[in-house]
């Protein structure tokens, strides 16, 4: 694997990162790698917009909506409920919506 070296890290930044890594039971290297890996696990803006459009269309079809547009907030809320339901199913828990 390639390496990254960061020079001239201010003492207060290093101290805070070290303390947060210790709180999580991680090494400083593991903790910083988690931080810089996060953007790679997130969708880009274009991917988010495509997901919102596709999800909105799917939800509208499932609800049998008569051309009614869902807001972004409604689509995200539905996605959160679906994700929570899947998590409960994996854990063998009953989900009350």
Q: What is the pTM of this model?
A: 0.43
Question: Where are the domains positioned within the chain?
Answer: 11-41, 45-91
Per the model's pLDDT, the better-predicted residue between 9 and 62 turns out to be: 9
What pLDDT score was predicted for residue 13? 93
The answer, yes or no, to whether residue 34 has pLDDT greater than 70, is yes
> Tell me: the pLDDT tens digits for 56-71?
888 778 877 556 677 8
Is residue 69 left, alpha or beta, with left meaning phi > 0 and alpha meaning psi from -120 to 50? Answer: beta
- What average pLDDT is seen over the chain? 85
Burial of 40 per CB tally in 10 Å (0-12, 13-18, 19+): exposed
The answer, yes or no, to whether residue 37 has pLDDT greater than 80, is yes
Burial of 75 per CB tally in 10 Å (0-12, 13-18, 19+): buried
What pLDDT score was predicted for residue 52? 81
Structure tokens at 61: 């079809």
């Amino acid at each position: 694997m390639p390496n990254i070296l960061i020079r001239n890290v201010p003492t207060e930044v290093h101290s805070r990162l070290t303390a947060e890594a210790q709180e999580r039971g991680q090494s400083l290297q593991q903790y910083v790698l988690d931080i810089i890996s996060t953007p790679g696990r997130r969708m880009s803006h274009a991917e988010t917009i495509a997901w919102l459009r596709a999800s909105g269309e799917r939800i509208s079809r499932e609800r049998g909506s008569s051309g009614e547009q869902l807001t972004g907030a409604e689509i995200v809320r539905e996605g959160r409920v679906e994700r929570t339901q899947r998590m409960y199913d994996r854990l063998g828990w009953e989900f009350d919506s």
